[in-house]
Amino acid sequence: MGRKLLLDKAHIEGIRYYDTYRSNGGYAAAEKALKSMGPEGVLEEVKKSGLRGRGGAGFPTGLKWSFIAKPEGVPRYLVCNADESEPGTFKDRYLMEFIPHLLIEGLLISSFALGANSAYIYIRGEYAWIPDILEQAIAEAKNKGWLGKNIMGTGFDLEIYVQRGAGAYICGEETALIESLEGKRGNPRIKPPFPAVKGLWMCPTVVNNVETLAAVVPIINIGGDEYIKYGTGKSTGTKLISACGNINKPGVYEIEMNISVEEFIYSDEYCGGIKNGKRLKACIPGGSSVPVLPANLLLKTAKGEARMMTYESLADGGFATGSMLGSGGFIVMDEDQCIVRNTLTFARFYHHESCGQCSPCREGTGWMKKVLQNIENGKGKMSDIDLLWDIQRKIEGNTICPLGDAAAWPVAAAIRHFRDEFEWHITHSDEALTRNFGLAHYADPLPVPEPAAV
């Protein structure tokens, strides 16, 4: 069994409520942080832990916190990004639904470290039932003196507010989230200035993912030095992975970042193998925005090493042969799945979710969707593949926010690794309407280049 830090008590009945949470060691970290560590101590511990943002980009959290501007007399804000809308990712939902107090404790400690007296949880509108759970937990915590004025006699004040989004993927982008929180249209801001300098209401703001904030609790509990012993290298600690697709046991798993992808998919502790004894064709290891990998590149890197469930190993080989850990939305596809159709689904999603502020993303996502629709419906032309490649290349990197990149990468990776499937869809357009391309050679072992002679 892998060691757990976040979900170790998730199985306890009633952990959602304060009394059970408290009697199982809850708020011990908050007590420790507030009473004996001080804000600098907490920041130091988080820096030491090497915790990386769990929302997708993997930016070191301690570093992000240290960037926050601290002008006199200006309030600072902590915003919890619970706008988890990435297709394939549902880890934060689990965390908030079953152990809301873990998030609140994390928010309390983080706000204390940052000197923020107001914290906001921006939660996606589709999670309609979770704000009630969070608000109930906030009320309980407030009742017991963990929120409000002069928390536990330390003189630190904190209020946590829950704000519902209105159903926009783009509001998961931190500056769009801030705009939306201010009551405006959720358009990403142009950076700089970064939120750490001018964020919510033009005040210094830190935006962190739910899981990141929750992970602060075990870091304070066990200490940064101990936390580093979990995981490998720069991928410290544990990560929640929401596994879905053609696997026997879809769900949210907490993994220590030292297991291989193969183990994660096939071991009974996690995904339990591919459903119905089928073979693995492809996998999107980090939510819909990250490049898709065929089975052979997923299990082994281009160098022939086993691919591990870490930030570094999944990104090994760059975009040519690698992918990203992203937000941990692990989508597994078996041999019966069609990559073209899957790419179309994602393109349709990004077309629908583009905010329409900057032109490459506004126009390009719709164009890619329409071209992919043609290919999928048997009306594609060979030139369409190169056209798609060209469109995605002109979107990527030329937009205000990363949504443009996120829309371009899945298309780019699908064409890069599955070009023959696209071609088959075009040359066998009638057949493509009735059957899928199948596994083909996508699981064949790749030739590993010989290491250069010394």
Positions that interact with another protein (CB under 8 A): 168, 170, 185, 190, 351-360, 362-367, 370, 387, 390, 393-394, 397-400
Cβ distance to another protein smaller for residue 225 or 386? 386
- Nearest distance in Å: CB 373, another protein: 9
Cβ distance to another protein smaller for residue 293 or 391? 391
Cβ distance to another protein smaller for residue 187 or 342? 187
Cβ distance to another protein smaller for residue 280 or 395? 395
- Nearest distance in Å: CB 433, another protein: 20
Cβ distance to another protein smaller for residue 136 or 398? 398
Q: Give the separation between CA 266 and CA 388, rounded to whole angstroms.
A: 34
- Nearest distance in Å: CB 402, another protein: 11
Cβ distance to another protein smaller for residue 23 or 359? 359
- Nearest distance in Å: CB 212, another protein: 24
Residue 364: CB atoms within 10 Å: 26
Helix axes 403-427, 339-353, angle to 10 degrees: 150
- Nearest distance in Å: CB 368, another protein: 11
SS3 labels along 217-268: HHHHHHCHHHHCCCEECCEECEEEEEEEECECCCEEEEEECCCEHHHHHHCC
Residues 6+ positions from 158 with CB-CB distance below 8 Å: 107, 108, 111, 112, 116, 117, 118, 119, 147, 148, 151
- Nearest distance in Å: CB 189, another protein: 9
Cβ distance to another protein smaller for residue 149 or 185? 185
Residues 6+ positions from 197 with CB-CB distance below 8 Å: 69, 204
3-state secondary structure of 342: helix
- Nearest distance in Å: CB 321, another protein: 21
Torsion over CA: 317, 320, 325, 328 (sign):
negative
Q: Give the separation between CA 18 and CA 449, rounded to whole angstroms.
A: 56
Residue 51: CB atoms within 10 Å: 25
Residues 246 and 213 sit within 8 Å (Cβ to Cβ): no
